[in-house]
Structures are given as structure tokens and as C-alpha cells.
Chains A and B, each alone.
Chain A
Amino acid sequence: MAERSFAREVDDLKLGEGEIFRGEGILAITKALLQSGVGYVGGYQGSPISHLMDVLADAKGVLDDLGVHFESSASEAAAAAMLSASVMYPIRGAVTWKSTAGTNVASDALTNLASGGVMGGSLIILGEDFGEGSSIPQERSHGFAMKSQMWLLDPRPNLTSMVKAVEDGFELSEASNTPVMLQIRIRACHVHGEFVAKDNKRPAFPLKKALENPRRDVNRVVLPPASLFHDKEKLEQRWPKAVEFISSRGLNEHFGPTDGDVGIILQGGMYNGVMRSLQLLGLADVYGNSLVPLYVLNVTYPLVDDEVADFCLGKKAVIMIEEGHPEYLEQSLNTILRRRDIATKVHGKDFLSQGGDYTTTLMVDGLRSLMRTHAPRLLGNEPPTPDPKPVLENAKVKALTEVVPPRPAGFCTGCPERPIFAGMKLMEKELGQHHVSGDIGCHIFSVLPPFNIGGNTMGYGLSGAGTSAFNVKADKRPIAVMGDGGFWHNGLVTSVGNAVFNKHDGVILIVDNHYSAATGGQDILSSRAQNPTRSTNNTIAEAVKGVGVKWLRQIDRTYDVAKVRDTLKEALTTPEEGPKVIIASSECMLNKQRRVKPQFNQAVKGGKRMVRERFGVDEDVCTGDHACIRLSGCPSLSVKHTDDPLKDDPVAAIDNSCVGCGNCGEVSEAAVLCPSFYRADIIHNPTRLDRVAAKLRGLFIGFLQRRRASRQIAFAA
């Protein structure tokens, strides 16, 4: 079980009719699923939708009461395939993942799902990981909707609208027999706001009933000729039904005056930013009044051609505000207008940017250009808009670029992956630099200083496959690094199995930290915790042996830097053929501390003898060369300036956040660094024996110390 508790959030899921829900966007969506009578939920955790999974994983009681099945899927593909339950039965199902990363993985299932169509409402909640704060390539989910004919919702980023989108999405899906994707951007997932809750609903058609009364229809199977028929059905039935539903239910919204020289068409998710931009230009106010007509696409695919044409008719120009590229919506807009010979000028990316976040600043500039070109009177005297340029061009501010350091996310204090890469760096000092293929997960931080190890990543669980071309005789072997999360997601077959089958000679290093750590510490197959609702403790070692790995080394304490180094050396030099698999295993420190710290404090409070370890540096022994930091980068190991006039450079220093993981000592031992580190074992609630021993030792040592001090000559001043 994840070491973090979501009990408070689970309580929010129980709110009833008329009560006010206050919290994060993604949790509002979670609640909306239950209000919509969802029958089952699956997904794969990842920013920004992890909390949906985390909260439901903790909400067994609520889900059981409602009769909702929840599952932590093995991958996005598994989650998407889960929606198969809604093909033949009127059961509402929802799945979620980080997009586009997860949508890529899920595509196989989604294509088949979309082809046959669905009976029960099928909702795919996409955490659109785009723009600032994103951890993946910058792509749009929009293309997936278009290619498979699934519908795409992009609601205005407030809780009420997002909750409504969930409810509308299920209905739209059912009305048009088509899976619906609901796209929520990072900030909208994490936005704090409120909405008026409704009672949760039991699923209208229970899973049990479906299972006990199976139905089949060969026309829903993706085999020719049915699959060819599906395509016809998509175009002739499902699409028109969807358009009819969107239009009759008014899912897209109009704001501002009906008429005007210019109009703005926007993705729902862009609404708040567009409104702020208009406000700054004097064209709107903060309460949603606008002087410019707005057509808000809460459904970005499909477009309702008649609505679009009606909005444009009689306007000199419209602008399409859609984030990311290519400009699918702008292209569609042009097609709609050309087919009807409507002469309204179309703008979009010409006034905005091709890619990246659509910030307020960017949209203010774009809308100002639009207004200057087509409706200058509306801009009036052009009140000044916020402009940081004078400050940013000041030499004193520019000078900051020289001193403000980059600060990317990195390994946490005490992270068990740090010593693995320290060991690898030490191996490289002896055997030279190697080709290192990275994966997805915390371990990819090895590419950053101070380790600077690894060059590329091809996807989750794909690091081994990423080295498959390098299966040639050479003086060096490739190294693939993979986390336990990636291993179970895809790596077991695609990387390890692939290497076994093709007799690959490389090294696969699996970092086993007992959790899917990078996504928030969720349990996976090989987690060590006893989880009452999941099967854990299925070891990675057994799994790789099962697919035929012969050369396997398990390191059960990654902090043993010398052992990591030597095991890697062995793997890189052994004459044995086939993949060399190393499993380096220690618990994620962030999660370990969450569990252990309260226990420790409790025990100390209860008067139990407890020993806490932490590290320190003798600053008069440290010469300030920082070699230790270049093999660590731990947040708790830093530098400090001293008052010693004979020391130019700051010395190493360890602060109170040290968790005593041992990396500092192991590294200085393995790399033969300076002896300035010490480990302090602090005994809380010492026993009588402890006290007596300490007393005797103190007497003896104190005597020797005093004797030596008395011989030591020193200045009085």
C-alpha cells in the first residue's frame, strides 16, 4: 500500500446532494465519476492524474458500498482494454492516465474499442501533461481522437465545468456508441476550487449481472467484414449522433455579445487565460463579461460545423485559440468556412505561437494584434498591459542569469538510487564510459549532474529494447537501466524477454525500490508491503528467471557502493553469454521515511531504546574539494563557508535532514575519499548498560584526551 494516506480525500468522495466540495480538480473528477453511476474504474498512475488512482485505491469502503470495481492497471494498455466491459453491456466505465505518454501505450486497445463502438458510457480521462511542469515530449492528444473517431472534451478549467464534462461525457458516449476522451491540463488537475456535489449513484447495470448473463455479437468484433462496417457506422451513424447530442445539449458555450467585428473560438481549457488576457486589454472583466463574442469548445472533437459557421457569419475575422501543434482546429475551421464560402478571415497560430504554453502574455499580444487589425475601435486608448520588460532589461536583473542555478528535480535525500549511480561512476573510472540506455522513472535523474550518466530514453520499460541493436561483438557492453515500475509495465517482456530470445550480450540493471516511486509511491507486483487488496511480493528475480535469464545478481542493499561497482564490473566482463541482469534493491527513502519516522518517534516516546543514525563532516578535516558531492548530489549534503582564514573554499556540510542512509560513508570508503565523514549513532532512551558503558568509556577516553591536551602547546589568545 502506498505510504501516504488519502483518508481526508476519501471523505470528500462521500459528500451528498447540495454539499460543497472543496479541493483539487482531479479529485472533483473522481467524485464526478461516482456521481455518474460509474461501474468500474482503471488506470495507470502518473502526473497529473495520480491522485485519482491514489484516492480510489484508498477508497475501498466507498467503492464497495456502491458496487464499483476499481483496479490499478498494469499499464495504460491494460486500462484501455478494461473498457471492453462496456462494449456489450450498458455499464459505465472510466480509465485514466498521463497523456500522451499513456495514450501511446493504450493505442492498440483504443483503436479496437473505437472500431466496434460501445454500449455503456466509456470515459478516458487524460491528464494532458503539456507545457511548464510537463515531464514528457510535447504532443497533443487531439490526434488520437481524430484518427480513431473518439470524441474529445476539453472543459473550462473550473470544478463545476469539469464535473459537468464527466457527466456529459458518459451521456455523449452512450448517445453515439463511442468512447469519449476527457482532456484535463496539468494546472486544471491541480487547481483548487469548489462545486456543489450530488449523491453518488450505484451503477445501473452491475458487472455481476453482465458476467452471469453474457452477451455476444459478432458484429462488434474487429474482424472483416465487421471492421469495414464499423468504419461506415462511425461516419454515418455515430458521428452525426454525436454532433446532434453536442448541439442539442449545448455542450459548447457562447459568452459576450452575439455580434461583433471579431470573434474568438477557443478550447474550453483556454477559457480562463483568454478571459484574463481580454481583461488586461480592457475587453472583459473578471466576472466573465466580455465585449468580444466568444465561442467556447468544451468539445474539441468533433466540431459542430453549423455552430462554427453561425458564429463566424457576419464577422470580419475570428481567431482560433488552441494550444500545441499542429493546428488541427484551425485547419478544420478553414475547411468549414471554405465549404460554405464564408469570407470571414481566419487567424490563429499566425498571431499566437506554434507550440508551448499559451501564457497570458502571449495571448494578450496575439489578441491585441487581432484587434488592431480588425477592430481597433474596441481597443480604445489601449491601456498599458503588464510589462516586465523594463525590469528584465535592467542590467542588475540580467546579472541574475549568472548566479541563479538550474534546479531540476533530482534524487531525494537518502534515495537508494544515488549509490547505484555512484557505483556506476566508480565503475566508469576503471572501465571507461559506457553506452547507457535510460528508461522512465526516478533513475533517469542520473543524466543530470553530478552523475551525468545515460543518454536516452525510449519509453517505459524499453531501456533494454533500446540497446537491442548493440548486440554485436565489441570491447564494451551496453548497459540498460530500468526501474521496477518500468519492468512490470512493459520491461519484463519487451526488454528482458527480448534480450533473452535474441541472446543479447548487454547488461540490464533493474532498480527495485519497492514502489512505483516516481508516480507517487504506488504498490506494484514486487512491492514488499502486505497489501490486503493486491498481490504483492512477486519478486523480479523469479520473473526474470522465468523468462530465461541465466546470469542474475541480486543486490539487496544498494548503499553498498563497492558491491554495486564490482557487480557491474563483473557483468561487463564475464564471458557468460546472454543478458546479464542485476537487480539493485532498496526501499524508496521517501516512502520508507513516511512509514518509519512515525514508528520511530512513537517508540522513543514510549521510552524504548532506539538508535538514530545520521552523518556529519569534520570540517577541519575537510579540504573543500567536494569530491564527495560529485558522487552524491544529496540535498542534505551541501557546502558551507567557514571562518578559517586558511581555507578558501567552502567545506562539505550535512544538515539535519540527513536520514543516515549511509551513502556518504560508503562512497568515501569505495572511492577512497577523505576521512572527514562520520556517522553518528544517537541512542535515544539508553539502557542502564548503555549508560554504564558510556560512562566507563568516557572516563578512560577523557583521561587520555586531557593528558594529550596538557602536552599540547597553544596560544592563550
Chain B
Amino acid sequence: MLQKSSDLTARLATEKPITVAILAMGGQGGGVLSDWIVDLAEAQGWVAQSTSVPGVAQRTGATIYYIEMLPAKDGKLPILSLMPTPGDVDVVLAAEFMEAGRAMLRGLVTPERTTLIASSHRSYAVTEKEKPGDGTGDPAVVVEATGVSAKRAIMFDMQSLAEANGSVVSSAMFGALASAEVLPFSRNAFEAAIRAGGKGVEASLRAFGAAYDKARAPADKAPNQQLPAKLLPPLPGSDPHPGLNRLLDRIRAGHPQSVQPMLFAGVKRLVDYQDIAYANEYLDRVETAYLRDAACSGANKEFAFTAEVAKYLAVAMAYDDVIRVADLKTRASRFERVRKEVGVKSDQIVYTTEYMHPRMEEVAGTLPASLGRWLEESPRLFKALDKMINKGRRVRTGTVGWFLMLNSLAGVKRFRRRTLRHAREIEHIERWLDLASKVIATDYDLAVEVVSCRRLVKGYSDTHARGHSKFDRVISQVPRLQGRPDGAAWLSRLRRAALLDEEGKALDGALQTIDSIYSDKTAA
């Protein structure tokens, strides 16, 4: 056994500094928080050292601040480190939820040492929000990792709490830090540091206090990371309007209970979008699908096919056209929502400007089908008209002239069924449902996936066209996938790949993989 001579080690002091790492994004006030902690420690007679690597002046990148503190001893100043050592950090403050994840990935959060104080709000990175689908990271993974990494965790939405108190996330985090009692300083000392800072003191103290209390409140073990629940109320018993009541009756009588809330959502959307008759058309199509579903032993699959049709058919039938946009933009409820969203006070006035860019395609689509087709088939005229129409228009909805214009456009709704766009949409819907109901006879799961692929069609103009082409490319694989044991899984994978990037590179890759697996390229 090796032993150090005891007189050697006896010469060494055993004190260790308290170590604190702050992970934040530029502009979140990480520097202010770091300064507060240093001021706090120094005011209590400790030696405190902070460092950072802020780099360039821009405000978006992830950055880290690091603080160590310890009192001097017999006049000797402690030697403090300029960077955190993984496994040796007492407190990690993360100003955003994925930054807490980053702290854990860097090994800064360890179960023997670390109290993790994190705001549970999300600020999505560019790579998350640029995806055509849902590219947001799953916060549940961070919650899970916290369970195995942190000695103790304090997590709640400090951003909202700070905003509600007219302050920024750093003051709420400072409050949570005080509340955690991991630094040997009193609440008064913390508050004194805020006061000494001298900027926005009152608001900071309010947010500090609120976070202090919140961090003490009996903790929900996991922070509330639920995304807003989809609004799917149960089917109402009846409705005073006879036409609507009949719709409810149809849903109740003709469909399994599990599908009814979605059907209700669909019917509600289509009545709002067009009228009762249109909602009945929708139910007609769903019923056809349901019969097919039942005939193909859908009961064993909890009528997954009908459920998907109920959802995506409603989306498809409520396609976005200029009439719909004009309708939505001019509603009283929308005016109210804007006031709320942009935070307009009662003594202020707000006007909105809409950015519209109509093209001849949209105009032709809104014309009666035959007229629209004729125009499209007269390229020179079409081009000439497009030259007049195709430009950005800034529509001031709150003024009388523009409102009247949009209002009458919304009124075109009653002619919608005769428009060229409508004819095209319905034709597409029928081809799509037709394919699905053919596939269901041999491959139930694949048929469900065929229906889900409709998710790819969204957006306006070029984006819409691109969505359509992705839909076509994915759907074109159905014949070769039909009957394969993993056919449905493949179609689902293609659909997800199509939502990963705009140009469809991921989809190209997935299609190549299919090609290499099923070398019967003739089916492609």
C-alpha cells in the first residue's frame, strides 16, 4: 500500500470552492446573472471569480458562464479555476430546457454533486424549427436524463414567470437559486445583490420573489412538459340547430365511439369552412370508408383506417384558398386575438397589414371551373393577366376599403363548390381515398399509411406544389410495398423522411434505400 507521508498532506488545506455553471443563450442575461452571483458572494466577504467565453457580439448562440467562490484563509486568496470540470460542479443553472440537456451531455451534472436549476421553457433552435414537419426535440428525454444525472433538480417555466412579472429569465433563475439554498447566503443577501445592480430593480425583485416561492412549492417531480393537448371534446348530446343536430345523430349512429370526437372536430371545421351540406358530404365519404374498414376486419384494428380518414379528409376538404384566408382574416374573433397576441392596451389602437401575394393561379382557381380551365389553356392571356395580378399587396384590414374587399371575397364562399380549385381538390381527394380503399383489401396497415400521407400536402403556392409532389412520390411506392410484411413501416418511414427537409433530400435517400432492398425497380 502506497502511503503519503502524513506531514506532507497535513500541510494541505481541505477547503473546496463552490462551483456554479450557467448555460444560456446570448441575450438571455446570463452575464447579469453571473454578475449578481459574484456581487452576492463578494458582499458576503467571499472571493468570487467568474469567467465566460462569449465570443462574438451576436445574440443567439449557446454560451457558458462559470463561477467559483470561497473565502480567503489567513489572508491567502484561493486559486480558482477558469473552467468547469465535469463531475465537479455544485450548481448548474440552465436558462432553457435543451441547454439543461447540453449541460448533462457535457458531464457538468452528476448525481453526487449537482443541483440542476433549469427553466423548462423551450426556445427552438433553427435546425428544429426549419423542418417542414415537427422537428422539435423531445423534452421528455431531458426529463429522463435529469433523473439519472442530477442530485436534485428544480425545473419550471422561469421564462413565463419572469415575463409575467415584467422581467427576464435571469431574475427568476436567481430566485430559484436562492430558494434552493445551495449557496450559504440568505435571501436578503440575494435581494441586496439585485438592488446593487441598479437596473430594473423592482421588476427583477418581483420575478425573483415569485420564483423563490415557486421553487419551494411542493414540486411536481417532472416539469410540465406536456404540449398543448389536442382539443377533442366528446360528441355533444344534441344541438339546438336542427341541421347540426342531424349531423350529430349521423355521427352517433353510423360510427364507432372511438372515432366520434374526431368526426365531430371534422364536422365542426367543415360547417365553419362551408356549410352543413358540405359536412354531410364529408360524413358520406367517411361512412363509405367505415363500411370498407368494417368489411376488412377493421374492428380488430380499432378502426384505425376510419380514424385516419376522419382526420385527414377534414383537412383535405377544408383546403386553404383565398376565400378561406379572407374569411379568417376579417372575423371579429381574429381582431380580438391580434389585440391579445401583440399585447395592445385598451388606450392604444392597432391596425394590421396583411402580406398577400395573389398570382394568376389563385385567381383562376377561384373562377368557375370551365372559365378557369379556359384561362389556363390560353397561356398568352394567362401570362398577360398574371403580369397585372402577380405582385405583393399589403392589405390594411382595419380600414374600410380593404375590409370591404376582403369581406366580399369571403362572401364568394357560396360559389366555392363551382370553382376550379374545388374541382381539383375533390378529384385529388377521390383518387387518394380510392387508392386507400383498394389497398385495404390486401394490406390494412398500408392503407392506413396511405391515408396519413395526406399530411404532406400543406402550405401555399410553391410549398404547396412541393408538398403535392412529395405526396405523389411517396404514394407511387404503394404498388411495390403492397403485400410486403414491412410495407406499412416503409411508407411511414418515407412520409417522415419527406417531412425532414424542404428539397426532399431525406426522401431521396429513403427511396434509394427502398430501391436497393427491393431491386424490382420496374415497380417504381
Contact = CB atoms under 8 A, between A and B. Distances in A.
A629 B83 contact: no
24 contacts: A187-B83, A188-B82, A272-B80, A273-B82, A286-B15, A291-B11, A379-B2, A380-B4, A381-B2, A399-B144, A407-B61, A521-B57, A624-B134, A626-B131, A641-B136, A645-B265, A646-B266, A646-B269, A656-B343, A675-B325, A678-B352, A702-B332, A708-B411, A714-B271
Interface in A552-596: 562, 590
A715 B354 CA distance: 29
B134 A709 contact: no
Closest 9 CB pairs of A and B: A133-B53, A388-B107, A386-B87, A409-B61, A669-B392, A403-B137, A625-B459, A405-B125, A380-B4
Interface string B317-333: 01010001100111110
B287 interface: no
B342 A386 contact: no
Contacts of B79: 158, 271-272, 275-276, 286-288
B254 interface: no
Nearest to A286: B78
B351 A680 contact: yes
Contacts, number: 451
Given A391-B110, A442-B58, A282 B355 contact: no
A659 to B, nearest CB: 12
A445 interface: yes
A678 B353 contact: yes
A146 interface: no
Given A286-B17, A702-B332, A680 B88 contact: no
Contacts of A675: 325, 329, 354-357, 460
B431 to A, nearest CB: 21
A649 to B, nearest CB: 5
A649 B265 CA distance: 17
B13 A286 contact: yes
Interface string B115-148: 0000000011111111111101111011011011
Name the residue among A364, A450, A521, A681 with the largest chain B CB count within 10 angstroms. A681
A566 to B, nearest CB: 13
A630 B397 CA distance: 27
A474 interface: no
A638 B131 CA distance: 11
Contact of A187 (B57, B82, B400): B82
B12 A678 contact: no
Interface of A: 22, 47, 50, 132-135, 157-158, 186-188, 190-193, 271-273, 275-276, 279-280, 282, 284-289, 291, 357, 359-361, 364, 376-381, 385-389, 391-392, 394, 396-397, 399-413, 442, 445, 448-450, 517-521, 562, 590, 614, 616, 618, 620-621, 623-627, 629-630, 633, 635, 637-639, 641-646, 648-650, 656, 664-666, 668-675, 677-684, 686, 690-691, 694, 697, 700-702, 704-706, 708-709, 712-717
A450 B55 contact: no
A626 B349 contact: no
B145 A649 contact: no
Interface stretch (B182-190, B239-247, B481-489): B239-247
Contacts of A666: 355
B54 interface: yes
A467 B324 CA distance: 49
Contacts of B265: 645-646
B14 interface: yes
Contacts of B52: 133, 187, 190
B200 interface: no
A565 B287 CA distance: 50
A47 B13 CA distance: 37
Interface string B1-26: 11110001101111111000000011
A157 B51 CA distance: 11
A273 B81 contact: yes
A110 to B, nearest CB: 25
B241 to A, nearest CB: 6
Contact of A705 (B138, B276, B332): B332
Given A675-B329, A675-B357, A686-B348, 6 more contacts: A400-B102, A406-B125, A643-B228, A669-B356, A679-B353, A701-B335
A635 B8 CA distance: 56
Contact of A716 (B34, B239, B262, B357): B239
Contacts of B301: none
Contact of B398 (A378, A519, A642, A697): A697
Interface stretch (B210-218, B289-297, B461-469): B461-469
Contacts of A633: 126, 130
Interface string B26-70: 110000001100100010000011111111111111110000001
A686 B398 CA distance: 16
B253 to A, nearest CB: 18
A646 B315 contact: yes
B83 A357 contact: yes
B493 interface: no
